[in-house]
Amino acid sequence: MAPLETIYILGSGAIGFPLAVYLANAGRRVVAVRTSRQDVPKGPVTVTAHNGASRISTLVETISLSRLATLDGTIVITTKSYANKAIALELKDKAATGPIVIMQNGVGVEKPFLDAQFSPIYRCVLYITSQATSEYDFRIRPITASPIGVIRGDESGLKKCVENLTTDEFPFRSEVNIQREIWKKAIINSVFNSICPLLEVDNGVFVRDEATANLAREVVRECVTLTDRLKMGLSESELMEQIMRISKASDGQLISTLQDIRSGRQTEIEFLNLEIARVAAAMQPGLLLPKVELLGKMILAKSLLKSGGTRGQGEGVTCPGQSLDQ
């Protein structure tokens, strides 16, 4: 029997650790890789399903990226997307081989790995919410199977990758048109990750409050003017149905951007609202998305005010003591 392929999960936070727990519990060879911290769990990592029906505690092998000489298996990226350029360069220096699966929200997050000439590269659009109740204890709520699609590579490699990563508790599926899924989720996240943090409320606000749902609709309507230009085939009704479904399923849970702001961490808003606005402005002729852009700028300002970070022109945000793991 061939030895099990190692699955390296870069980013041991609210997505990375639960994924590692379920893979390890299913008998897969998995290593959680910390990119910004040296400490490792002194005991098991625990994951609880949203309804409390299942609770799994598993010891997860954890190591710092700086201590790995090579990476010769599947590499799953669950770190914050603003770290991708640095991570891609470090992986290249370590002569990393095997497929790269990017599990991040946003538009264009795969570019640093494309620029570094990695292959194959897959994008995963996550439909799961996860919240840390303590450093090594997490509560998750799967919404539906998360699609994975090819950015650079082939369908046979994609099928193998999906099989290697899927467990009953954390399922994935193959998706032919992954760009449509990326844009669909990016628009949905541009709603949740701007409106909820600005109002300081949980994800369920859209099903509870009609005025807030109408604000979400205005954001979606602007985004659809762009996706129509890009021929993505997305509609306002489809996006709003998904927003309301997610809102109901994750009622009481806090969106990651609100958690990041409260913890003084950098957010990923520049790959959501602000990147969507930038893509629109770069169209010929240019397209303005004023509500999408304004909400993004407000989140950026709120994040900086909370963290005391700085942002120079053309630079990313710098927040003291930030973690890249998610």
Are residues 123 and 242 located together in one domain of the fold? Answer: no
CA angle centred on 17, ends 172 and 144, rounded to 5°: 25
pLDDT given for residue 323 in this prediction:
47
* Host domain of residue 96: 6-176
Q: How many other CB atoms sit within 10 Å of the CB of residue 305? A: 10
The predicted pLDDT at position 191 comes to 98
- 124 backbone φψ class: left, alpha, beta (φ>0; ψ -120 to 50): beta
pLDDT reported for residue 141: 84
Q: What is the CATH number of the domain that holds 193?
A: 1.10.1040.10
Q: How far apart are CA 157 and CA 130, in angstroms?
A: 28
Domain count, the chain: 2
Does the residue 53 lie in any domain?
A: yes
CA distance 139 to 152: 33
H or E element, residue 129 = strand 128-134
CATH number of residue 96's parent domain: 3.40.50.720
Helices (H), the chain: 16-25, 84-93, 111-115, 155-165, 178-199, 205-208, 210-229, 236-249, 256-262, 273-281, 290-307
* pLDDT value of position 203: 95
Q: Are residues 22 and 150 in the same domain?
A: yes
Do both 114 and 197 map to the same domain? Answer: no
Contact at 8 Å (CB) between 235 and 175? no
Identify the pLDDT of residue 315.
42
User: Which stretches in the chain have pLDDT values below 70?
Assistant: 1-3, 37-38, 309-326
Residues 117 and 253 grouped into a single domain: no
Assess whether 49 and 195 both reside in one domain: no
Q: Is residue 196 one of the residues assigned to a domain?
A: yes
- At 109-130, the pLDDT tens digits run 999 999 999 999 999 999 888 8
The type of residue at 235 is S
Q: What is the CA radius of gyration of the chain?
A: 19
